């Protein structure tokens, strides 16, 4: 479609205009609420939200510190969760005995709603960065773990036999066959796992912290400042989109050996 971007932009503007019309006090007579300030109280006002964001970024410039904290938590949670998931996935996939013994426990841990661990982590690791990272790790770990496990199980037996015939020792098989195959599965789940690390960080902050974007939202909610809550949500969404775009770039760089559809050049 030719004007795709235009239509997308028009949709956004339409939603914002609708929001503005419905919430600005005194603009149209109230039909849902008792007085004309209540809509703004419950749903916030787009102009105030925009102003709040502007102040965060340009006037007071205090959002960067919080964004930085959230980013650090997200990256740490992803890195630790991915490494642990990779290690455990490789180990269990290559050791039938261990996987047979641990299988029911892994199933149980995976089906447990792990967000509920947040209060426990807060007790264990305090209100600082540690408890948020721990929550993110529990979310990322299982995604990576299952993907690696699958990846190792689905290594082509011919590729494996070929590597053995070429003289690979068990160690070299791990390094040159299992690991690349498993990491390709990790990268294919990169979007999901980075997204979950982010969820872990924000939810952790929201449940108790002293800095981070989740903390800002928690503070504003305590003061019934819906505009700031909305502003926080907008910032988080934009941040998540940027993060996702970055992951996409990294993925394309690292996975250039994988065939992509439509890889023909148009003249």
Partner 1 sequence: MTVPALELADVSCTFVSRDAPGQRYTAVAGVTLTLQPGEFVSVVGPTGCGKSTLLNMAAGLLAPSSGQVRVFGQALGGINARAGYMFQAESLMPWRTALANVMAGLEFRGVADAREQAQDWLRRVGLAAFADRYPHQLSGGMRKRTSLAQTLAIDPDIILMDEPFSALDVQTRQLMENEVLELWASRRKAVLFITHDLDEAIAMSDRVVVLSAGPASHPIGEFAIDLPRPRDVAEVRMTPRFVELHHAIWSVLRDEVLQGYAQQLGRA
Binding site for partner 1 (CB under 8 A): 156, 158-159, 161-169, 172, 176-177, 180-181, 184, 256-259
From the list 92, 113, 115, 94, the residue with the least C-alpha distance to 104 is: 92
Helix, strand or coil, per DSSP, at residue 192:
helix
DSSP 45-78: -HHHHHHHHHIIIIIS--HHHHHHHHHHHHHHHH
- Render the burial of 164-189: b for 16+ CB within 10 Å, e for the rest: eeeebeeeebeeebbbebbbbbbbeb
Minimum CB–partner distance for residue 180 and partner 1 (Å): 4
Minimum CB–partner distance for residue 197 and partner 1 (Å): 25
Minimum CB–partner distance for residue 68 and partner 1 (Å): 35
Closer residue to partner 1 in complex, CB, 176/252: 176
Residue 102 neighbours by CB under 8 Å, 6+ apart: 92
Minimum CB–partner distance for residue 172 and partner 1 (Å): 5
Minimum CB–partner distance for residue 166 and partner 1 (Å): 4
- What is the distance between the alpha carbons of residues 21 and 231, in angstroms, rounded to a whole number? 18
Closer residue to partner 1 in complex, CB, 177/202: 177
Closer residue to partner 1 in complex, CB, 111/261: 261
What is the sign of the dihedral through the CA atoms of 118, 123, 128 and 129? negative
Minimum CB–partner distance for residue 204 and partner 1 (Å): 35
- Rounded to a whole number of angstroms, the distance between the first and last alpha carbons of the chain is 20
27 phi and psi angles, rounded to 5 deg: -75, -50
Closer residue to partner 1 in complex, CB, 139/186: 186
Q: Do the beta carbons of residue 143 and residue 85 sit within 8 Å?
A: yes
Q: How far is CA 255 from the centre of its chain?
A: 20
Minimum CB–partner distance for residue 183 and partner 1 (Å): 9
Closer residue to partner 1 in complex, CB, 164/191: 164
265 phi and psi angles, rounded to 5 deg: -95, 135
Q: How far is CA 103 from the centre of its chain?
A: 27
Closer residue to partner 1 in complex, CB, 185/206: 185
Closer residue to partner 1 in complex, CB, 168/203: 168
């Amino acid at each position: 479609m030719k004007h795709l971007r235009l239509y997308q932009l028009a949709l956004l503007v339409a939603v914002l205009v609708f929001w503005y019309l419905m919430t600005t006090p005194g603009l149209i007579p109230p039909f849902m609420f008792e007085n004309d300030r209540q809509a703004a109280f419950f749903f916030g006002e787009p102009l105030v939200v925009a102003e709040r964001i502007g102040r965060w970024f340009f006037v007071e410039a205090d959002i960067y510190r919080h964004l930085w904290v959230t980013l650090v938590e997200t990256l740490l949670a992803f890195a630790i969760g991915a490494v642990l998931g990779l290690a455990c996935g490789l180990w269990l996939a290559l050791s039938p005995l261990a996987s047979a013994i641990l299988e029911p426990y892994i199933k149980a841990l995976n089906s447990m709603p792990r967000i509920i661990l947040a209060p426990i982590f807060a007790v264990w690791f305090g209100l600082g960065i540690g408890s948020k990272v721990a929550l993110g790790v529990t979310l990322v770990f299982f995604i990576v773990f299952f993907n690696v496990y699958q990846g190792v199980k689905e290594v082509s037996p011919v590729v494996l036999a070929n590597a053995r015939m070429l003289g690979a020792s068990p160690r070299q098989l791990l390094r040159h066959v299992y690991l690349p195959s498993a990491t390709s599965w990790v990268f294919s789940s990169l979007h999901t796992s980075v997204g979950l690390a982010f969820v872990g960080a924000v939810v952790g902050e929201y449940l108790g912290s002293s800095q981070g974007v989740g903390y800002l939202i928690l503070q504003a909610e305590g003061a019934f400042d819906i505009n700031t809550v909305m502003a926080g949500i907008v910032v988080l969404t934009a941040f998540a989109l940027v993060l996702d775009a970055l992951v996409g770039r990294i993925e394309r760089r690292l996975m250039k050996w994988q065939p992509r559809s439509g890889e023909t050049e148009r003249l």
